[in-house]
Amino acid sequence: MSTVRPAPGRMLAEVEQAACQQGVGTKAFTGKGAGFRQIRQAQVRVDDIHAQMQELSEATRKVSGRLFYLALHKRSKTGQLSVRWRQAGCARTTHLSWDDMEGLFSRVPKALADWYKEADKLARQLNRDEQIARLVLKQAEEALAEEQGRTP
């Protein structure tokens, strides 16, 4: 039987690597990056929701002969982003409540009115999801600050 031996250069490299690693602990991951990872994941979620809001807003603006559309509204103090209905074709664009919009549905085909209803459901869900995602992000940032001995 023949025994396969590693090449001499490879053996030397393995011995040097083993010697180099003698003082190093074997536990590579101690969980110290968990706070940063949670913040990154929460920020990705917020950004994803904001992108969905932007897409929905653009979709409502592409409706031919639209009476209303979803506009993005950002609060600079909190960073909150939400979508709100606005009346199209007015010199002074104002936000519309859903009740106001339903009164205008008699002026559009039923299929379009149904589409607006679905868009409104999605808009409301995205607004709720955005609030929750920002809260999770804020809590992750506060937890990391506490972990590092800082006040948020």
Q: Which has more confidence, 127 or 109?
A: 127
Q: Which has more confidence, 83 or 23?
A: 83
Residue 13 located in a structural domain: no
Q: Which has more confidence, 99 or 37?
A: 37
Residue 25 located in a structural domain: no
Asked whether the CA dihedral 78, 53, 36, 137 is positive or negative, the reply is positive
**pLDDT, tens digit (0-9, with 9 covering 90-100), for 20-72:** 555 555 555 555 677 889 999 999 999 999 999 999 999 999 988 788 899 99
- Using the predicted structure, report yes or no on whether residue 15 has a pLDDT greater than 60: no
Dist. CA 19–CA 46, nearest whole Å: 47
pLDDT at site 5: 55
- Using the predicted structure, report yes or no on whether residue 10 has a pLDDT greater than 70: no
Identify which of 43, 66, 69, 56 has the alpha carbon closest to the alpha carbon of residue 138: 43
pLDDT > 90 fraction of the chain, expressed in percent and rounded: 44
pLDDT at site 146: 86
Residue 4 located in a structural domain: no
Q: Give burial (CB, 10 Å; 0-12/13-18/19+) of 119.
A: buried
Residue 10 located in a structural domain: no
Residue 119 located in a structural domain: yes
Question: Is the pTM here over 0.75, yes or no?
Answer: no
DSSP track, 45-60: HHHHHHHHHHHHHHHH
Dist. CA 123–CA 68, nearest whole Å: 14
pLDDT at site 2: 54
Mean of pLDDT values over 7-23: 56
Residue 1 located in a structural domain: no
pLDDT at site 90: 74
Q: How far is CA 20 from CA 15, 24, 85, in A?
A: 9, 8, 64
Name the residue range of residue 46's domain: 33-147
SS3 (DSSP) at 63: coil
Residues in the chain: 152
Q: Give the pLDDT band (50/70/90) at residue 148.
A: confident
Number of domains in the chain: 1
Residue 152 located in a structural domain: no
Dist. CA 71–CA 124, nearest whole Å: 13
Residue 8 located in a structural domain: no
